[in-house]
Structure 1
């Protein structure tokens, strides 16, 4: 469904590239799933991206770590789900599937380390965790009804959104401690989209704007409100929201992302 056109004199909505969204998803995600031939692992707090590559820490005693030590390199599928941090219906915002190869990081190699010392772990030492590097071959990002392929070169060159790591805390703080601000933001949505809404909740946040979930009894709408200028860091968010509310007094500032039946 087409959204409302931007107000006269305002630029078209800006958005992160698919590669940037994927990098941001991996930064924000607390967990991911790894699948290798004959093995599967759900890792919590054991991944990061360094030098454009996904790096994971496998428990030394896990079957996957032992298999990787023996094989040296294994075909791997990585799956990540992006969930809205604020309680709403249908919290899944995006899913990503990455295909490639998992290899043990070389001792003293930079590929396995984003922080000092991690790259110095010996891949053959079973007394420590095994640092493994994922070599990306294919990537797909699935959002509301669309699937986008992302080239490895684009992923490596992209940078995560500056708000990605803080997004969950910022949205929960907004929803729990500043409901009046959410109400004021909701007033920027065109009246016909918010008419009859059961509630309106913060859904997503990035440097370009904030998205709200408009819940009706039989369907939901996601509506995005663009900041006047991109936010450089979390400390500038309050200023950006204030500018949005001050500079966009009418509902023409919003545009719809999607409508969908309630689940």
Structure 2
């Protein structure tokens, strides 16, 4: 089980990663503060004295201006595979009144910032329905169906992924290594080996990606969770028997995390 391309696109576009905007036939690109509302529509928070505001100002010959939002993933840990890069195009329109207030609430749900209080004075909120969505992953670009994108949800662990990975590495390293050895067998080097211990380098609602081996022998494996997770609380519940195994000795080993004994995927970094 893995995130679909539409889910990855929604996760990248959500607003928690930096993005740039290119306005058609205008200089650029521009750094932009963005978010998506619950329907996946793109919201742009733009200062009225910025170059982006000037670029978005419609001309007499055109009622609207096309824009492409470009967002790249930032891997949360060394050795982590990137989710990819998404381009979302559309025709942004400035919001006023009730629409601007609701958009500010939607924006704050993802990216709380004090500048939202200045909407209508020093800042303008723009919104657009995606007209085209392209996702690049592992050198391949594919177009995402608009209906699939609208129906998908951003990954609920993405916002805290970096902190969660750091916590597993810094505070639960031995427990995670022992768990991965039970799950992955000979793929995990024995204690005392010259190779570094395995590390969890990505987390999403469907599973985890593990980095194994050292320089020249590094590979990655993906382990699936028994069910898609709704958020951090369910992740903590799932990992509790793994991280507190001594308290769960009466349980059979296959009860700590009911996944298949072999990983979903194993691939080499070479």
The answer to whether TM tops 0.5 is yes
Matched ranges for 1:207-218 at <5 A: 207-218=205-216
Structure 1 moving runs of 4+ over 4 Å: 115-120, 243-246, 248-251
Query: Hey, what does 2:95 align to over in structure 1?
Result: 105
Measured at CA, do residues 134 and 216 of structure 1 come closer, stay the same or move farther in structure 2, by a change above 3 Å?
Answer: farther
Structure 1 CA distance for aligned equivalents of residues 103 and 170 of structure 2: 38
TM-score, reference length from structure 1: 0.77
Query: Hey, what does 2:31 align to over in structure 1?
Result: 42
The answer (yes or no) to whether the contact 2:221–2:267 under 8 Å persists in 1 is: yes
Give deviations 1:7-60, integer Å, cap 9, x for gaps: xxxxxxx222211122122336331111113122123xx221113201111122
Structure 2's unaligned 5+ residue stretches are 109-114, 243-252
Tell me the SS of whatever aligns to 1:229: coil
Give deviations 1:174-219, integer Å, cap 9, x for gaps: 1222212331243145345345744422221122211112243125
The answer (yes or no) to whether the contact 1:188–1:250 under 8 Å persists in 2 is: no
Structure 2 CA distance for aligned equivalents of residues 69 and 249 of structure 1: 56
The answer (yes or no) to whether the contact 2:10–2:40 under 8 Å persists in 1 is: no
Matched ranges for 1:209-248 at <5 A: 209-218=207-216, 220-242=218-240, 246-247=255-256
Query: Hey, what does 1:64 align to over in structure 2?
Result: 52
Query: Hey, what does 1:9 align to over in structure 2?
Result: none
Structure 2 CA distance for aligned equivalents of residues 249 and 20 of structure 1: 25
Query: Hey, what does 2:248 align to over in structure 1?
Result: none
Structure 1 CA distance for aligned equivalents of residues 45 and 153 of structure 2: 22
Measured at CA, do residues 249 and 108 of structure 1 come closer, stay the same or move farther in structure 2, by a change above 3 Å?
Answer: closer
The answer (yes or no) to whether the contact 1:112–1:119 under 8 Å persists in 2 is: no
Pair member with larger Rg: 2
Query: Hey, what does 1:15 align to over in structure 2?
Result: 2
Matched ranges for 1:1-263 at <5 A: 14-27=1-14, 29-36=16-23, 37-43=26-32, 46-50=33-37, 51-71=39-59, 73-86=64-77, 88-89=78-79, 92-109=82-99, 112-113=103-104, 114=106, 121-122=119-120, 127-188=121-182, 190-195=184-189, 197-218=195-216, 220-242=218-240, 246-247=255-256, 252-261=261-270
Give deviations 1:49-103, integer Å, cap 9, x for gaps: 11320111112211111221344632222211112212x1466332222222222
TM-score, reference length from structure 2: 0.75
Structure 1's unaligned 5+ residue stretches are 1-13
Tell me the SS of whatever aligns to 1:225: strand
Measured at CA, do residues 187 and 92 of structure 1 come closer, stay the same or move farther in structure 2, by a change above 3 Å?
Answer: same
Coordinate RMSD, CA, aligned: 3.1
Please state how far the C-alpha of 1:134 moved relative to its aligned partner: 3.1
More helix by percentage: 2
Measured at CA, do residues 184 and 26 of structure 1 come closer, stay the same or move farther in structure 2, by a change above 3 Å?
Answer: farther
Query: Hey, what does 1:4 align to over in structure 2?
Result: none
Structure 2 CA distance for aligned equivalents of residues 160 and 27 of structure 1: 7
Structure 2 CA distance for aligned equivalents of residues 90 and 211 of structure 1: 8
Count residues with an aligned counterpart.
Answer: 241
